[in-house]
Structure 1
Amino acid sequence: MAARINKKRSFLFVSRVLGKHIPVNPYTPLLGGAALALLLYREMNGGAADTDSMEKLLEQAVDGLIDPSRAEEAYRALLSARLVLPRPVVFIGFAETATALGHSMYNIFADHASYIHTTREDIPEMEPVVSFEEEHSHAVDHLVYALNTGMLSGEEPVVLVDDEITTGNTAINTIRDIQSKFPRREYVVASLLDWRSERNIQAYRELEEELGIRITALSLLQGSIEVTGTPLLDAAAGNGQLACASEVPVVTTYVADGLERLEVSSADSYGEVNHSPYLKLSGRFGMESCDNQLLDEGAARIAARLCKLRESSNALVMGVGEFMYLPMRVAAEMGEGISYQSSTRSPIYPEARPDYGVHSAEAYPSAGDPAIRNYIYNIAPGQYGDIFVLLERDVPRSRIEPMTDVLKSLAGNKVHLIILGARQETEAACP
């Protein structure tokens, strides 16, 4: 655990599975979502599922989550099972931490699945079809922008995916908003960790009775927690580890991934607009099972290009904020010696001691919105030779420099700023 710098909630579980606060084998977070998918498959099929086969796959998944060296084998075994749900299901991943978790859970199904993740991005050209608040968060607003609004208007079960459930209030707020606009009978709340108290569990039952719905909770680990103490409210920009660190070159590369773009813009807290297009199949705007192969092919193209740029045996691939899944998939295609992590907007107090989850923290203004601070946790200077940071869309160089300034003091050899897009591929050193 670690101390969250947040008056509403003083603690945070630092996951060894998500690839958010700790660098991980990229197959580990992919396997976390796949294991949840297996639980859902077993739940929805009931007695019709091949019990022996399911138990074997689940046991293999758990072994892979415990031992990262087995994660790839377990993940590929689940993919090759080609699971198909008995009826269509809509998956919704919660930003920012569970965008990749929700995507990896959805992706394990060969058909009958659709996926979208919530976002905190302000996209002026679009109206959100769902909005709700995460009451304990440092960033409370969640928006759902669906290109196909029909994906939520049917009677399909909705699966809400989050990394952890502590009170369950976020899921309750989401269900209320969806039910008021797109009523249905069945919801599933899936998470890696479920820490709800008996009173919180009872709140689900009361909501079921009030709305005439069924809510099923699935998790890899369930238990109870009790937290005492006073929140730490003063953020530490870092622990001084960069003071003597040397700086390495930053190289910017535009990679033509062949994936379709969506011509919409974003507005930040200051009203400044970025007209660079979004990736259509990131999950932010919705996708169907039939889209998965296109994204797989794009990930393979990006990985092949990055492998040619790689110069060190030990390298890190980074996602940025909500943009986690595709960088994670790219990292998984890059061979041995690759770790994966994403930057985050969650403020956590760092302290370098063995029994604490966050040993180091580096803060900087977000490239997408300078009013928001982003953080990189648990990376020591020189820990990785090459660091590849992937951006979904282009941003002005002045906005990305605070992040690359941090990274060039962490990398041992070179920082690669990878900007995905369909334009002619070029390569140049940052000024």
Structure 2
Amino acid sequence: MHKTATETFSSTKHTFSIIGNHTIDIEVTHNPFHLPLNSLFLMAARVNTKRSFLFVSKVLGKHIPVKPAVSMLGGAALAACLLQKVYNITFPTLTKRIVDGLIDEDKADIALEFLMENPMIIPEKVKIIGFAETATALGHSVFAAFLENVEYIHTTRELLVDKTSIINFEEEHSHATSHRFYSLNEDFLIGQEPILLVDDEITTGKTTLNIIRDIQRSFPRKHYVVMSLLDWRSEEDKRKFGDLEEELGITITPISLIRGKALVHNQPNLQNREINLTKLSNTGNRIHKIYLPHSQFNYASYRSVDSIGDVNENPYLLETGRFGISPIEQARFMSKAKEVGRFLNTYRKAESQTLVLGSGEFMYVPMAIAHYMGGNVRFHSTTRSPIYPNAQAGYGAQNAFQFRNPEDPGVINFFYNLPYGGYDDLFLFLERDVSEKRLQTLTQVLANLGVKSVYLVICSYSNSNCS
């Protein structure tokens, strides 16, 4: 793996107001594609004692609804950065289309189709790991940008009964700290191939250092690449990366679309402050279930146990990347995604405004399908992350909705930025089937959003009557 000099960039300074006099000063020191910050994120207050603010991405498809192609181009932009910085390889025409699609969503669909027809080439084999829950789709999008020499897997919060995690590590600032790693190929991490670790944002880098240390303990190698949309590490945090390089005899290369420094002012304590959930109106729409044909996907028949001790015997999808995925398997999935997208589009009315919601770490599969569901489709996902909502202009969480996770009722989930009556139809994707009882708090929210037609899209078949 070769390293090249980075390009020069004149730093720029910005101030963002969050709530009241809670502000953040940002100095951008690295912006290789000269992306406007307002095309990448908004700010919000996070209900967390360890970190009270959040860069709410306009690219991820997590908290803010986006055109599916925009989110997929976010990973492609990181892939282009990787090739440029590490291998001194550029694809000027493709990169320009990717960047244009990130800045102007009207150009995103054409840019993504061009990428699919002209995938990038990486000159050596690499392993790509996306971090759950937020970066599962981002990591998958990085992987999907390449033609060959790549394999992808994402970490998971799921706890499987029948399979042992190859590695375990902790994410210290998260509300769900434990990451697990289940590969169908037990030898996935064996070898000297560089590992590309993909996260949406690096603030301190502790999560990354934790996983590198854990991998290196059992599967040593020489080179890691840390990829993120945003990198806000302090000089002290960067020194910790250098210390780990020296300690383990490795090289860690950071790749990001934006890098800089963030200084927080007047940080409020919101830990004991109630999240003002958006009040629901009694529209009482009926929820329709759509079971996708079993032939559309491949399955992993593992049982999981949730936080209250209940076992779910319904299968997972292999296409998510949770158990590893290759470029050949990715190509087959995209062909299936087109079929499923066109099928689900038949449920929509002409020119309707449609929202597709993923659930938790189950993001890339519904995102890819949403891309093929026709025009006027937006995508984002449910999340574990509690954010304080505020209706002020430019704030990252205009409203908030809360429910119990159907796949783990011991975990509270949220979704944000869904205006009442803002969509004609809504498709919420669940990877695995669950009981009506477990769906109750979620369907109560969905039925009262002023959406004319609401569909639950179940992607796996049922092995049990989950309690």
- TM-score normalised according to structure 1 size: 0.94
Read off the aligned partner of 1:263 and give its amino acid letter. Answer: S
Looking at structure 1, the residues matched to 297 and 368 of structure 2 have their Cα atoms a distance apart, in angstroms, of 14
310-319 or 191-200: bigger deviation = 310-319
For residues 20-41 of structure 1, give each alpha carbon's deviation from its aligned partner in whole angstroms, at most 9, with x where no partner exists.
Answer: 1111111111000011111122
Corresponding residue of 2:300: 262
The superposition leaves residues 99-118 of structure 1 with CA deviations (integer Å, 9 ceiling, x where unpaired) of: 00000100111111000101
Correspondence list, 1:232-311, <5 A: 232-234=270-272, 236=274, 238-242=276-280, 244-256=281-293, 257-311=295-349
Instruction: Judge conservation of contact 2:183–2:323 (CA < 8 Å) in 1.
Output: yes
Distance of aligned partners of 1:306 and 1:238 in 2 relative to their CA distance in 1, 3 Å threshold: farther
Q: Deviations over 1:265-297 (max 9, x none)?
A: 110111100101111221111111121122112
Amino acid at match of 1:262: A
Q: How far apart are 1:264 and its partner, in Å?
A: 0.7
Correspondence 1:157 to 2:199: no
When the two chains are superposed, the root-mean-square deviation of aligned CA atoms in Å is: 1.6
Among candidates 41, 45, 48, match of residue 87 of structure 2:
45
Partner residue of 2:416? 377
Cα separation, 2, equivalents of 1:235 and 1:65: 35
Match of 1:136 in 2: 173
Find 2:361's aligned residue among 316, 322, 347.
322
Alignment length, in residue pairs?
A: 418
Instruction: Give the Cα–Cα distance (whole angstroms) in 2 for the partners of residues 154 and 363 of structure 1.
Output: 43
- Does the 8 Å CA contact 2:275/2:389 hold for their aligned counterparts? no
CA shift at 1:416, angstroms?
A: 0.4
User: 2:399 matched to 1:357?
Assistant: no
Deviation of the 1:84 alpha carbon: 2.3
1:149 positional shift:
1.9
Task: Return the offset for 1:235.
Answer: 5.8
1:30 touches 1:75 (CA, 8 Å); kept in 2? Answer: yes
Alpha-carbon separation, structure 1, partners of 2:243 and 2:155? 25
For the 8 Å contact 1:260–1:281, the answer to whether it is kept is yes
SS at match of 2:339: helix
Answer whether contact 1:255 1:419 (CA < 8 A) is retained.
Answer: yes
Q: Following the alignment from structure 1 to structure 2, what is the Cα–Cα distance between the partners of residues 172 and 231?
A: 28
Q: Could you give the per-residue CA deviations for residues 370-410 of structure 1, whole angstroms, max 9, x where no partner exists?
A: 11100010101110010001111111111112112111211
Q: 3-state SS of the aligned residue for 2:296? A: coil
Query: Structure 2 matches for 1:73-152, cutoff 5 A?
Result: 73-152=110-189
Aligned partner of residue 317 in structure 1, secondary structure:
strand
| Counterpart contact for 1:237–1:362, Cα < 8 Å | no
Query: SS at the partner of 1:298?
Result: helix
Q: Deviations over 1:203-261 (max 9, x none)?
A: 1111111111111100011111012313311464544431x352212111111152111
Report the secondary structure of 1:358's partner residue.
Answer: coil
Q: Is the 8 A contact 2:223 2:251 kept in 1?
A: yes
Shifted more, 63-72 versus 170-179: the winner is 63-72
Structure 1 pair 108–3 and aligned structure 2 pair: CA distance change class (3 A):
same
Structure 2 match to 1:398: 437
| More displaced stretch, 300-309 vs 20-29 | 300-309
Please, which moves more after superposition, 401-410 or 375-384?
A: 401-410
The 2-side partners of 1:412 and 1:233 are apart by 32
Does the 8 Å CA contact 1:350/1:359 hold for their aligned counterparts? Answer: yes
Aligned to 1:24: 66
Contact map agreement 1:187 1:216 (CA 8 A) in 2: yes
1:342 lines up with 2:381 in the alignment = yes
Amino acid at match of 2:80: L
Describe the shift of the 1:16–1:245 C-alpha distance in structure 2 as closer, same or farther (beyond 3 A). farther
> Partners in 2 of 1:234 and 1:16 — Cα distance?
28
Given that residues 386 and 411 in structure 1 are in contact (C-alpha distance below 8 angstroms), is that contact kept between their aligned partners in structure 2? no
SS in 1 for 2:163: coil
Output the CA distance in 2 between the equivalents of 1:237 and 1:168: 28
Distance 1:113 1:361 in 2: 38
Contact kept, 8 Å, 1:251 with 1:417, in 2: the verdict is yes
Q: For 1:260, give the aligned amino acid.
A: N
Structure 2 distance, partners of 1:119, 1:15, is 21
Deviates more, 1:66-75 or 1:92-101: 66-75
Q: In 2, distance between residues paired with 1:286 and 1:421? A: 18
Q: Residue 202 in 1 paired to residue 239 in 2?
A: yes
* C-alpha distance in structure 2 between counterparts of 1:209 and 1:401, whole Å: 52
Give the partner amino acid of 1:204.
F
Unaligned runs of 5+ in 1: 424-431
Q: Is the 8 A contact 1:107 1:292 kept in 2?
A: yes
The structure 1 segments of at least 4 consecutive aligned residues displaced by more than 4 Å after TM superposition are: 235-238
**Contact kept? 2:275, 2:387, Cα under 8 Å:** no
Q: Secondary structure at the match of 2:121?
A: strand
Shift in CA distance, 346/364, structure 1 to aligned 2, threshold 3 Å: same
Is contact 1:259–1:422 with CA below 8 Å preserved after alignment?
no
1:412 and 2:451 matched: yes
Instruction: Name the counterpart of 1:55.
Output: 92
The residue identity in structure 2 corresponding to 1:320 is S
SS of equivalent residue, structure 2 residue 50: coil
- Is the CA contact 2:278–2:400 (under 8 Å) kept in the aligned structure 1? no
Q: Report if aligned partners of 2:315, 2:461 keep a CA contact under 8 Å in 1.
A: no
**Letter aligned with residue 365 of structure 1:** R
Kept in 1: contact 2:137–2:364 (CA 8 A): yes
Alignment partner of 1:92: what SS?
strand
Write the deviation string for residues 343-362 of structure 1: whole angstroms up to 9, x where unpaired: 00101111111132111000
Look up the SS of the partner of 1:83 in the other structure: coil
